[in-house]
Amino acid sequence: MYVGVDVGGTFTDAVLLEKNHVLATAKVPTKGGEELLISILEALDSVLRDVDPARLKRVVFSTTIITNFIASHKYDDVALLLIPGPGLDCNYFNFNAKTHILSGAIDYRGREIITLKEEEIEAVLSELALEGFNKIGVVGKFSPRNTAHEKKVAAIVKGRYPDWHVELGSRIGVQLNFPRRVHTTYLTCATYEPYHKFVDSVRQALVKREICADIYILKADGGTMPLDNSEELPVETIFSGPAASTLGVQALIPPRETAVVVDVGGTTTDLALILSGQPLLSAKGARVENRLTQVRALAVKSVPVGGDSVLKCSGNGIDILPERLGMAYCMGGPVPTPTDALRVLELTRLGDEERAREAMNLLGNVLGMGTEEVAEKVINMVVGKITSEVQNMFLEWEREPAYRVWEILHKHKVRPEMVVGVGGGAAGFISLVAGELGCRSIIPRYASVANAIGAAVAMPTLQINLRADTEQGYYIIQEEGFQGSIKNRRSFNKQNALDLAREWLIKRAQKYGVEVVPAEIEIIRQEAFNMIRGWVTTGKLFDVTIQTPRGIIERIGLGEDTLWLDQ
Amino acid sequence: MAGSINKKTGLIFFPAFDWAISPTHPEREERLLYTRDQIFEEGIMDLPQVVEYTPSLAAIHDIARVHFCVPRVEEQITEAHLIAAGAGILLVDEVISGRIENGFSMIRPPGHHAMRVVHGNRGFCNINNEAIMVDYLRSRHGIKRVAIIDTDAHHGDGTQDIFWHDPDVLFISLHQDGRTIFPGTGFTYELGGPGAFARTVNIPLLPGTTDESLHYILDNLILPVLNDFKPEFIINSAGQDNHYTDPLGSMKITAQGYARLTEKLRPDVAVLEGGYAIETALPHVNMAIILALAGLDYSGVREPDYWPGRFKETPERTKEVRRMVDELLGYWEKRDNYKPDPRNIRGNYYLREKEIFYDTEYFVENQVEKLRLCTDCQGYLAIESSVDSTYGRKGILCISIPFSACPKCREEAINLYLRQKGTGKYRYIYLQDKSEDAFMGYNTNNNEEWYS
């Protein structure tokens, strides 16, 4: 048996699954702040009411906890020690934290070009100690190519202040992007302590319920992480909500479909793409507090319209405001909303028809339009906003940069075959959106808890990035911050690089308690360059990224579950 | 500049990591690898001042508008060439539409040694990316006057050849003295055809020239000439082999020197040309150019072994540069009062003979170029070209009708094409009618005719 729990802004959902079937679902209001854990446990208790905890194999949580920590700035201040070296002035990125620039530089090949100055580091640390800092992010430009500077600085900090918490950029941001690495390291450092407390209390609560199943946390890329390991990289769990609904849809539709997931909420509609059965990852990392990070995330767009958005007259038209003042008018709310328009056009059975008509008339009277006319205008506006954003997402995906001839030649146009609606407000809009896009519309059974299903079926994902430079005779496993030497420099080839990466991935998987079938390891990127100096090959450069397979544990929808509300 | 008026700098980064002339050739997969590392690590693409584009492919038609590829366009290019040319075209569209302030096409393979007639690869180039942009600008956007400033260490002989007779294209090439480097041309006396005198300006520099002379030339020659010419569009052939670490060139220009050059020139689009110090120069110079285009502070971009004042100009070189600038300014002032050498005139035509060496594939092409001297337009061009042993003893005939051709020139050119199809004198005959945007070829062996 699997349990999935998704903590959303308004509701916390839970499901209990067994053998492709949903056994129980729960929906409880999410309590804010410190009481978040209460909501999680309430939902969990509800689906486990008649279940022997010993039968549970795993429990997966998708939580907004990190998002909440960051939004409310409930953490100690973090100081950044940056080693940017020559190049772009890093003030352009305004990291919005206490920042000290240290001397020193590493180049693109991982060679030291400017040395660190120990006395400078000592002076900076004394200053930070006086100011009361005890959380430090150390980030160097090109540190994934050579971790020596970051490690040296960390050793000096630990030597003087053993209690301080220090995070290294090279372990957190393994891709080449210094500003994103800095921001990701900052967030990791900032959320470490509150997240640790949260994980602890989850652990205690589960012990109290005698649940000894494997516990995982959902990540932004739709993979899971064991709860214990998630403490190393808490920021990876940010934005797992949209990932949860997308995976849920993946579990509820046939395999290999290309689909748009439309999650209509109260004031926002989240869009995600499933291309040939795989959720699309964002080309850039997740954007947190308006800055890009190196956190891998699904490509999700949030459109500021939802069932409860406030409608307001402006001039000769209607504005959809990005805010909510309560329920829809037809359900006793204070102002007209798109839900009222749906009710008038009989696209939903929610709420009271007379109140819905009244709501449309409030707008119609000002604009000199009839009840149905207003309702149609509103629905067209909402559907128009959603469809144009879907089209943009496909365009953006097509326009993602490519750096090889074959990639450019193989770029092709893909358009969705189905629009899948999830979320409370989906019912009325989905068929219209699908109509505009020329595809089928589907609202699967269990659409309202698709997010919790997504959490339940998500699988662990682990990555390894290897860089090998045979001219300099070293390789580096970026996730582990490990730097080793290559013994057989002359003969070291592409296959050796791949084998080495596989070895490390299996090792890492063991550490995370994840089973890996070597044959199923996916190669994400494999680059090999000959280094020619004066017409002679002097070495080779290899970059390899591999991961455990992406996917879901099982699909839902055999037997009676195949009943879809196909509109 | 760009940053201050909220319009972005468009970047196309196309390193063609799967394309090389040969495994150990300077034009190989590795060439832009370290540049990629540098610009990605700096997070340049995340800056609000920068927008990255994916290149699209140029059409065969866009290439036929400029070149006579023998026997056909498809046989002289690979997909990588279409992408490199397509990148320039895309940036042209974006600048003209006002969506970006300026752009940088960081692409491979380069193009500035490719001449009008293409029998093969010359100086690592098959088709001329900048010339394709210029004729696209004219054909699709109605732009007339364009300036190309070529700052590669090698003379941009291909671009010079293509616009030699064109008074509406100002071509300025600044390069290492042709007596010391490929292709061995680009001297001050190469000034353009009879109708386009001094619209070709060559500035040969002695080996070892530094930032100081470069900027003297910019301030005292290039910028004033540009100011007089008033181009509607400026393209920079941004070769980076003037850098002090380049293995092919022998100049002493620094990343800072390149950044200031870009800042002063303010090109609408810069296009990467040569530059083969792939580790020691390219990551820094490309960064410097991007930051300068985007109006960002580039003062922190410096090579690990550079310090201000490292390279000093010798008094002799300074004196020689000043003399040359005066000489070239003299030609520029006389640009509208030029009388062509009567020895080159036969009746109503101006003749030019050329011998063109293809260094990559090692053969020589012979050309006789005949320009109709016309008072109503710049005149059509007919080129006889032959390469020993490639197509037997017969040569080819290439006829080019300019954009602004008068009816008389156009009619005569078309009649020449029709007449020569029947004589059997040439192996292939081409008609490039820019005024009607129609480009055709004819194979006299099998009487096959095609449009490109």
CB-nearest to A405 from B13, B47, B80 is B80
CB contacts, 8 Å: B47 with chain A:
92
Per residue in A52-65, pLDDT (tens digit) is 999 999 999 998 78
CB A28 within 8 A of CB A21: no
Interface check B305 vs A, CB under 8 A: no
Contact at CB, B46 and A180, closer than 8 angstroms: yes
CA of B82: which chain A residue's CA is closest? A405
- Top residue of A106, A400, A532 to mutate, by most chain B CBs within 10 Å, is A532
Interface check B14 vs A, CB under 8 A: yes
> What is the rounded CA–CA span in Å between residue B289 and residue B34?
16
Can you tell me the mean pLDDT for B196-214?
Answer: 97
pLDDT at residue number A562:
41
* DSSP category for residue B47: S
> What is the rounded CA–CA span in Å between residue A355 and residue A359?
6
Interface check A180 vs B, CB under 8 A: yes
Helices A371-398 and A426-437, packing angle to 10 deg? 60
CB-nearest to A92 from B55, B287, B296 is B296
> What is the rounded CA–CA span in Å between residue A254 and residue A416?
14
- Top residue of A405, A406, A494 to mutate, by most chain B CBs within 10 Å, is A405
Domain range summary for chain B, segments of one domain joined by +: 2-333, 342-451
Q: Quick one: CA torsion of A450, A247, A283, B96, rounded to 10 degrees?
A: -50
Q: Which of residues 265-284 of B touch A (CB under 8 A)?
A: 279, 283
**DSSP letter string over A214-282?**
EEEEE-TTS-EEETTGGGTSGGGGTTHHHHHHHHHHHHHS-TT--EEEEEE-SS-EEEEEEETTEEPBP
CATH code for the domain in which residue A175 is found: 3.40.50
pLDDT band at A563 (very low <50, low <70, confident <90, very high): very low
Give per-residue burial for A48-82: e unless 16+ CB within 10 Å, then b. beebeeeebebbbbbbbbbbbbbeeeebeebbbbb
Q: Is the same domain home to A359 and A271? A: yes
pLDDT at residue number A249:
93
CB-nearest to A404 from B17, B57, B296 is B17
Q: Quick one: CA torsion of B428, B434, B436, B442, rounded to 10 degrees?
A: 0
CB contacts, 8 Å: A179 with chain B:
43, 46
> What is the rounded CA–CA span in Å between residue A83 and residue A100?
9
Q: Is the same domain home to A357 and A272? A: yes
CB-nearest to B30 from A105, A180, A530 is A530
Q: Is residue A560 pLDDT above 50, yes or no?
A: no
Q: Is the same domain home to A188 and A260? A: no
Contact at CB, B54 and A176, closer than 8 angstroms: no
Q: Give the 3-state secondary structure of A242-254.
A: HHHHHHHHHHHCC
Can you tell me the mean pLDDT for A75-84?
Answer: 94
What pTM did the predictor assign? 0.92
Q: Is residue A559 pLDDT above 70, yes or no?
A: no
Per residue in A317-336, pLDDT (tens digit) is 999 998 888 889 999 999 99
Beta bridge partners of A101: A82
Strands A79-83 and A135-140: parallel
Interface check B288 vs A, CB under 8 A: no
Identify whether A562 is part of a domain.
Answer: no
Nearest to A555 by CA among A257, A218, A249: A249
CA distances (Å), A315 to each of A121, A367, A368, B238, in order? 61, 8, 12, 52
Q: Is residue A408 pLDDT above 90, yes or no?
A: no
Can you tell me the mean pLDDT for B10-24?
Answer: 92
Burial class, B202, CB count within 10 angstroms (exposed 0-12 / middle 13-18 / buried 19+): buried
Can you tell me the mean pLDDT for B253-257?
Answer: 97
CB contacts, 8 Å: A541 with chain B:
33
CB A447 within 8 A of CB A423: yes
CB A66 within 8 A of CB A237: yes
What token pair was written down for A527? 């680059």
Amino acid symbol at B72: R
Identify whether A453 is part of a domain.
Answer: no
> What is the rounded CA–CA span in Å between residue B335 and residue B198?
5
pLDDT band at B5 (very low <50, low <70, confident <90, very high): low
Contact at CB, B42 and A284, closer than 8 angstroms: no
CB-nearest to A401 from B13, B44, B304 is B13
Beta bridge partners of A22: A17
Give the rounded percent of residues in chain B with a pLDDT score beyond 70.
98
Identify whether A552 is part of a domain.
Answer: no
Identify whether A59 is part of a domain.
Answer: yes
Q: How far is A88 from chain B (nearest CA, A)?
A: 6
pLDDT at residue number A268:
85
pLDDT band at A73 (very low <50, low <70, confident <90, very high): confident
CA of A104: which chain B residue's CA is closest? B304
Cβ count within 10 A of residue A200: 11
HSE-up (13 A, CA, CB side) for residue A381: 23
Domain boundary among A382, A398, A415: A415
Q: Is the same domain home to A28 and A173? A: no
CA distances (Å), B145 to each of A126, B97, B134, B269, B376, in order? 62, 17, 9, 15, 18
Handedness of CA A510, A512, A517, A519 (dihedral sign): negative
Q: Is the same domain home to A120 and A189? A: yes
Per residue in A112-169, pLDDT (tens digit) is 999 999 999 999 999 999 999 999 999 999 999 999 999 999 999 999 999 999 999 9
What token pair was written down for B62? 């866009």
Interface check B300 vs A, CB under 8 A: yes
Its ipTM equals: 0.92
> What is the rounded CA–CA span in Å between residue A385 and residue A309?
13
Q: Is the same domain home to A99 and A164? A: yes
Q: How far is B382 from chain A (nearest CA, A)?
A: 36
pLDDT at residue number A65:
82
Contact at CB, B28 and A530, closer than 8 angstroms: yes
CA distances (Å), A540 to each of A472, A485, B56, in order? 9, 14, 30
Q: Is residue B99 pLDDT above 80, yes or no?
A: yes
Total residues found in chain B within this entry: 452
What token pair was written down for B317? 């070189």
Q: Is the same domain home to A200 and A189? A: no
* DSSP category for residue A539: E
What token pair was written down for A529? 């360059």
> What is the rounded CA–CA span in Å between residue B259 and residue B255?
6
CB contacts, 8 Å: A176 with chain B:
37, 40-41
Identify whether A313 is part of a domain.
Answer: yes
Q: Is the same domain home to A239 and A311? A: no
Can you tell me the mean pLDDT for B395-402?
Answer: 96
pLDDT at residue number A556:
85
Q: Which of residues 516-535 of A touch B (CB under 8 A)?
A: 527, 529-532, 534-535
pLDDT at residue number B4:
44
CB contacts, 8 Å: B18 with chain A:
404-406
Q: How far is A187 from chain B (nearest CA, A)?
A: 18
The CATH number of the structural domain formed by B2-333 is 3.40.800.20
Per residue in A298-307, pLDDT (tens digit) is 998 989 998 8
CB contacts, 8 Å: B302 with chain A:
86
Helices A148-160 and A118-131, packing angle to 10 deg? 50
CB-nearest to A88 from B18, B42, B283 is B42
Per residue in A247-276, pLDDT (tens digit) is 999 999 888 889 999 998 888 899 999 998
CB contacts, 8 Å: A177 with chain B:
40-41, 43, 46
Nearest to A300 by CA among A422, A186, A204, A406: A422
Interface check A275 vs B, CB under 8 A: no
Q: Quick one: CA torsion of B129, B134, B136, B139, rounded to 10 degrees?
A: -160
Per residue in B113-156, pLDDT (tens digit) is 999 999 999 989 999 999 999 999 999 999 999 999 999 999 99
Contact at CB, A405 and B18, closer than 8 angstroms: yes
Interface check A113 vs B, CB under 8 A: yes
Amino acid symbol at B266: R
CB contacts, 8 Å: B301 with chain A:
86-88
Q: Is the same domain home to A156 and A212? A: no
CA of A114: which chain B residue's CA is closest? B304
Identify whether A422 is part of a domain.
Answer: no
pLDDT at residue number A522:
92
Q: Is the same domain home to A266 and A406? A: yes
Per residue in B355-379, pLDDT (tens digit) is 999 988 889 999 999 999 999 999 9
Q: Is residue A313 pLDDT above 80, yes or no?
A: yes
> What is the rounded CA–CA span in Å between residue A401 and residue A178?
19
pLDDT at residue number B390:
57
Interface check B183 vs A, CB under 8 A: no
Identify whether A373 is part of a domain.
Answer: yes
> What is the rounded CA–CA span in Å between residue B273 and residue B269?
13
Handedness of CA A408, A410, A413, A417 (dihedral sign): negative
Q: How far is B249 from chain A (nearest CA, A)?
A: 14
Domain holding A259, by residue range, is 254-415
CB contacts, 8 Å: A86 with chain B:
300-302, 304
Q: Is the same domain home to A171 and A147? A: yes
Per residue in A442-497, pLDDT (tens digit) is 888 888 899 999 999 999 989 999 999 999 999 999 999 899 999 999 999 999 99
> What is the rounded CA–CA span in Å between residue A372 and residue B125?
66
Q: Is the same domain home to A229 and A217? A: yes
Identify whether A387 is part of a domain.
Answer: yes
CB contacts, 8 Å: A408 with chain B:
14, 54-55, 57, 79, 83
Helical H segments across A1-147, by residue range: 36-47, 65-72, 118-131
Contact at CB, B33 and A89, closer than 8 angstroms: no
Q: Which of residues 384-443 of A touch B (CB under 8 A)?
A: 399-406, 408-409, 411
Per residue in B70-96, pLDDT (tens digit) is 999 999 999 999 999 999 999 999 999
Own/partner contacts of A228-233, CB < 8 Å, gap of 24 or more, are: A228/A199, A229/A511, A229/A512, A230/A195, A230/A199, A231/A192, A231/A195, A231/A196, A231/A199, A233/A172, A233/A188
Give the rounded percent of residues in chain A with a pLDDT score beyond 70.
98
CB B94 within 8 A of CB B103: yes
Q: Which of B67, B113, B154, B165 is catalytic?
A: B113
Handedness of CA A539, A540, A541, A543 (dihedral sign): negative
Q: Which of residues 368-427 of B touch A (CB under 8 A)?
A: none
Per residue in A167-205, pLDDT (tens digit) is 999 999 999 999 999 999 999 999 999 899 889 888 988
Number of domains within chain A: 4
Block residue for tokens 């004219």: B138
pLDDT band at A398 (very low <50, low <70, confident <90, very high): confident
CB contacts, 8 Å: B79 with chain A:
405, 408-409
Instruction: Please count the residue pairs, one from chain A and one from chain B, whose beta carbons lie less than 8 angstroms apart.
Output: 111
Per residue in B312-349, pLDDT (tens digit) is 999 999 999 999 999 999 999 999 999 889 999 999 99
User: pLDDT averaged over chain B?
Assistant: 95
Contact at CB, B37 and A402, closer than 8 angstroms: no
Q: Is residue B3 pLDDT above 70, yes or no?
A: no
CB B391 within 8 A of CB B157: no
Active site residue B113: yes
Interface check B83 vs A, CB under 8 A: yes
CA distances (Å), A297 to each of A244, A247, A395, A550, in order? 11, 13, 18, 13
User: pLDDT averaged over chain A?
Assistant: 90
Burial class, A19, CB count within 10 angstroms (exposed 0-12 / middle 13-18 / buried 19+): exposed
